[in-house]
Structure 1
Amino acid sequence: MCLGDLNLAEAQAVADRINAAGNGKAVAVEMDVTRREDNARAVAATVDAFGEINVGLFNAGLNKPRFFMDIDEDNWDLIMTVNTKAMWLGMQETAKQMIAQGKRDYPYKLINVGSIASRKPLIDVTVYCTSKYGCLALTHCGALALSEHNITVNGYAPGVVVTPLWEQLDKDLVKMGFKQNEGQAYEDIVRDALQIKRVSYPDDVKGTAAFLVSADSDYMTGQMIHIDGGWCIQ
């Protein structure tokens, strides 16, 4: 596994934990996912370390909530660049290497991390929704475009996951006046939108990611699996 992040120290710490566990090998690279050359360098680092690349997973993202009439160009460009453009760049650079390696008896896999916002319009995060609808489109269009190379493209779409991104969003929603106090966003969504009445954690998501990486998902492409406690049916 090759882990890419702006914060090389954090990526290396994760790689070190994987290596120390003894059941895998990982390397880390410093990269800005919004730059094509950094994506190409991460692919090259993977090939240097492991000889080939079989799976690409694209998980970079951020959210800066604004009401619709408060969105400006800087807000739009930042979110769309990190959440959508970077995913396209990563998919394209990874697929180039996979195509160069030639077809195998098993499919190569590209995995895109979407969101409940890939299918659900939300009034406080218009640009984020737009970027994640774009993630769904990249998953569908990529699956169509790359099938001739035996590359599948799937994704998974979390809802409320307790991570630094959501913790910051919770604070930002109070700052913009959409919520009265911290923690209210979690409480309101659990009460009003979720069929499974709790927030989720990374452990709730990792099994789906592992499934999409595994051979059990070989006969799937163009799919976005929701792991959102039933939010998408509300």
Structure 2
Amino acid sequence: MSKVAIITGSAGGLGKGIAKRLGEDGFKIVLHDINKEMLDSTLKEFKDAGVDSIAVVGDVSKREDQFNLVKEAVDAFGQLDVFVNNAGVDVVSPFLEIDENQLNKTFSVNVNGTVFGTQAAADQFIKQDTKGKVINACSIAGHESYEMLGTYSATKHAVRSFTHSASKELAPYNIRVNAYCPGVAGTAMWDRIDEEMVKYYDNMERGDAYKQFVDGISLGRSQEPEDVANLVSFLASDDSDYITGQAIITDGGIVYR
């Protein structure tokens, strides 16, 4: 029987790459995003490629939406095996300009969303009395705090902490909780970071921030969605059954821990 995976924030970017890889691995795929138009387009692409998939629109920052997402998956496919808390938002600003709205929005999506998704998945795994995998989107910013990315870094440190604590509490239920920590990828998120950096540094032109980060990668190139998807594929597989509570860096050699 095919396993079932939910990937939040999977209409585009790294989430889409992860969903694509898990589909190739034989999973039935539950696509999810807050952007219905992008989500519908991605679902068509997956179905045209022969992937057994559905799409659910939702807001990860709302606990009710996360539990509904799991319900939709189970209604469609009868079970759940893997839940990937991929959805997230970024923000660039100097520390002295961090405001209440920035903190609330970023923590609401990146941290609350991860907690609610993990709760919803764990609730279903326990009901099924089966093994389950929760895989969280952390970041190199969950291991190292970066200037101009203070709020984002703080949220990813929180995701890493919740990965640790949830893995300890859920292990008795045969549930593994791990995280993947990407580095610098040529995605829309990094386009936004690069664009925002230019506003705060007079000597910087568009593209410079991205180039500086990429130049610091030991393997000499930016990340592709496949690089992250390869790790998630392993964490979703039976081969990773003895791994839990880990936040694994996949950055080509930027942060060394």
TM-score (norm 2): 0.85
Distance 1:199 1:183 in 2: 13
Counterpart of 2:107 in structure 1 is 80
> Which of 78, 87, 96 in structure 1 is aligned with 2:123?
96
Aligned position for 1:197 = 220
Give me the whole-angstrom Cα distance separating, in 2, the residues matched to 1:34 and 1:19: 28
User: What does residue 54 of structure 1 align with?
Assistant: 81
Amino acid at match of 1:159: G
CA deviation map 1:25-83 (0-9, x unaligned):
11001101111111111111000110011110011111111111111111111111111
**Which residue number in structure 1 is paired with residue 49 of structure 2?**
21
* CA deviation vs aligned residue, 1:156-175 (integer Å, no higher than 9, x gap): 10000111111111101112
Contact 2:217/2:254, CA 8 A, preserved across alignment: yes
- Which of the residues 222, 229, 232 maps onto 1:206? 229
TM-aligned CA deviation for residue 183 of structure 1 = 0.9
User: Which letter does structure 2 place at the counterpart of 1:46?
Assistant: A
- Equivalent position of 1:233 in the other structure: 256
Tell me the equivalent position of 1:31.
58
| Identity in percent | 35
CA contact (8 A) 1:173 1:179 kept: no
Q: 1:178 to 1:233 in 2, by over 3 A?
A: farther
Is the contact made by 2:81 and 2:133 (CA closer than 8 Å) also made in structure 1?
yes
Secondary structure, aligned partner of 2:133: strand
Is the CA contact (8 Å cut-off) linking 2:190 and 2:210 kept in structure 1?
no
**What amino acid is the match of 1:186?**
Y
CA contact (8 A) 1:8 1:28 kept: no
Give the secondary-structure state (helix, strand or coil) at the position aligned to 1:153. strand
Q: 8 Å contact 2:66–2:120 — kept in the other structure? A: yes
Secondary structure, in 3 states, of the residue corresponding to 1:110? Answer: strand
**Counterparts of 1:30 and 1:160, CA distance in 2:** 27
Give 2:36's aligned amino acid: L
In the alignment, structure 1 residue 10 sits paired with structure 2 residue 41:
no
Instruction: Compute the TM-score of the two structures, normalised by the length of structure 1.
Output: 0.93
2:6 aligns with none
* Letter aligned with residue 97 of structure 2: D
Change (3 A) 1:173 1:7: same
Unaligned runs of 5+ in 2: 1-28
Matched residue of 2:255: which SS? helix
Q: Which runs of 4+ in 1 moved over 4 A?
A: none
Alignment partner of 1:49: what SS?
A: helix
1:154 lines up with 2:178 in the alignment: yes
Give 5+ residue unaligned stretches, structure 1.
none
Find the aligned partners of 1:74 and 1:167 in 2 and give their Cα distance. 22
Deviation at 1:179, TM superposition (A): 6.3
Matches within 5 A, 1:121-200: 121-177=145-201, 180-191=204-215, 193-200=216-223
CA distance in 2, matches of 1:10, 1:123: 32
Partner of 1:108: 132
What is the distance in 1 between the residues matched to 2:158 and 2:95?
18
Cα distance in 1, alignment partners of residues 190 and 214 from structure 2 = 14
Contact 1:68-1:124 within 8 A present in 2 as well = yes
Tell me by how many angstroms 1:150 deviates: 0.4
RMSD of the alignment, in Å? 1.4
Q: How many residues align?
A: 229
